[in-house]
Structure 1
Amino acid sequence: MKRLLVRTTAVLLISSGAAYAADLTEPAPATFEERVASNFDWSGAYVGVNVGGGFGTFDHPFAITAPAPVGTVVDGSVDISAGGFLGGVQAGYNWQNGDFVFGAEADFQGSAVKAEDSLSVNTVPPFGAGSIDGEAGTKVKWFGTVRARAGVSPVDRLLVYGTAGLAYGKVESYLNANVTGGGPIGNIDVSKSNTKAGWTVGAGAEYAVTNNWTIKSEYLYTDLGKTTLINADLFGANATLKNDVSFHTIRIGLNYKF
């Protein structure tokens, strides 16, 4: 009886020790906090949305030139402050090597960024002592960029980057004015729409909230170049009007990483 009791006790002790050892070797499931705190890999594709605002100054150089010997009747530039909201979508891909991250991104923005102001300039012959009075404006209806991104992850889940590339967009401009010179001469009522190409450069920061969702803040300077809006005969003189569209944007975005 004593031998049976000893053997039973030994079996129980051995079984308990084996179970305890198994508990020591099998890790406990990671908590949500532990999963979020793990090292984040920026590599992979992503899509997202953004919203923000644009601001800057749109320049509108103009000139009216009469035949010789009169020459230039009037010239100058109407420089108008621009501003407005914008929003759109973006998609891209990142490659991470150590703390360095390289990528490419394309985005498309709907835009309400516009510049509008009154116009008033004095004229000389052949119009006589008169003036050109009216309104001029330029609006960026939409624009997009295709950019390279390069940055560094100084701490886990934070990416700081610079970006640069191609920009393109649709720009509409108009001029409505009355021309007088010792009396009414005529009206100018013109508008023009162009799809323009240029460049963009900027910087941003992005943070991974979870393994799939990231938030970012980004600044871009975008230059869509110069365009001749008007090059036409104006009551016997040559009239030209151009625009130079460049602006700043600040936006925040939300990305989903696959």
Structure 2
Amino acid sequence: MKRFAVGAAALTLASTVPPARAADYYAPRQPYTVNQPLNAYSWAGPYLGGNLGYAWGTVSNNPTKPSGIVGGVQGGYNFQDGPWVFGIEGDLEATGADDTFAPWKFSNPWFGTVRGRVGYAFSNILFYGTGGLAFGELRGQTFGLTESQTSAGWTLGAGVEFGVAQNWTAKVEYLYVDLSESNFAITGTSNGYRFDMLRVGVNYHF
């Protein structure tokens, strides 16, 4: 009788084990997460934006020094290899740069550039140098006569660009622009426009 009681108790205990193990096997698991570091900021791809700044310069063979507000649009494309960023950028600007001295008035109504860019990125901060082709209009006036000449030249500068939000960057840039000389009938000599420009801008990266 005692053996029967012990056997029954053992059988009862054994019968309770599988359900407990099954419950362990099929209990909901904690969500699996991976701590993956964020990717480095990418400068690669096309972009389009606008800018606003100030230009000041001189007209060769003339005492005028045109200066004024500059504003326009720019667009370009970047390639990136590690921290190195290579690209090309073009811009077109309208300007209020002008000056009058005695009977002469010279102004620079517009100009544009097509430049290469080489930079080094620290994540979302890009330091770069830039240079290339410049072109634009120099307009002269005297005694009611007006003459305009469009010429090409070169430009060189540097800047820093910041990633400020998803797809958006802001930049500060300096350029020196040299528009080559052209013969002006109203002055009887060759005149060209050389100027410095400091501007800020924003870009949207696609």
For 2:56 and 2:15, locate their aligned partners in 1 and report how far apart those are by CA, in whole Å: 91
Deviation, 1:4, is 4.4
Q: Aligned pair count?
A: 195
User: Which residue is equivalent to 2:4?
Assistant: none
Find the residue that maps to 2:24 and give its secondary structure: helix
2:33 to 11, 26, 40: 26
Q: How does 1:225-240 map to 2 (within 5 A)?
A: 225-230=180-185, 240=188
For 1:4 and 1:206, locate their aligned partners in 2 and report how far apart those are by CA, in whole Å: 72
Structure 1 or 2: more strand by fraction? 1
Q: Does 1:93 align with 2:77?
A: yes
User: Which residue is equivalent to 1:242?
Assistant: 190
Deviation, 1:13, is 2.1
Deviation, 1:203, is 0.5
Find the residue that maps to 2:42 and give its secondary structure: coil
For 1:114 and 1:15, locate their aligned partners in 2 and report how far apart those are by CA, in whole Å: 81
TM-score by length of 2: 0.86
Conserved in 2, the CA contact under 8 Å of 1:40 and 1:211? Answer: no
Q: Which has the larger radius of gyration?
A: 2
Q: Deviations over 1:81-136 (max 9, x none)?
A: 22111111111111111111110001000111112122xxxxxxxxxxxxxxxx21
For 1:4 and 1:44, locate their aligned partners in 2 and report how far apart those are by CA, in whole Å: 67
Q: Does 1:251 align with 2:206?
A: no
Alpha carbon RMSD of aligned pairs, Å? 2.0
Find the residue that maps to 2:95 and give its secondary structure: strand
Q: How does 1:15-164 map to 2 (within 5 A)?
A: 15-16=26-27, 19-20=29-30, 23=31, 25-27=32-34, 38-59=39-60, 61=61, 78-118=62-102, 135-153=103-121, 155-164=122-131
Q: Deviations over 1:157-183 (max 9, x none)?
A: 11111111111112211122xxxxxxx
Conserved in 2, the CA contact under 8 Å of 1:206 and 1:215? Answer: yes
Conserved in 2, the CA contact under 8 Å of 1:58 and 1:115? Answer: no
Give, as a single letter, the amino acid of the residue that structure 1 aligns with 2:52.
V
Stretches of structure 1 that go unaligned for 5 or more consecutive residues are 62-77, 119-134, 177-188, 232-238
Could you list the structure 1 runs, at least 4 aligned residues long, displaced by more than 4 angstroms after superposition.
none
TM-score by length of 1: 0.70
Identity %: 35
Stretches of structure 2 that go unaligned for 5 or more consecutive residues are 1-11
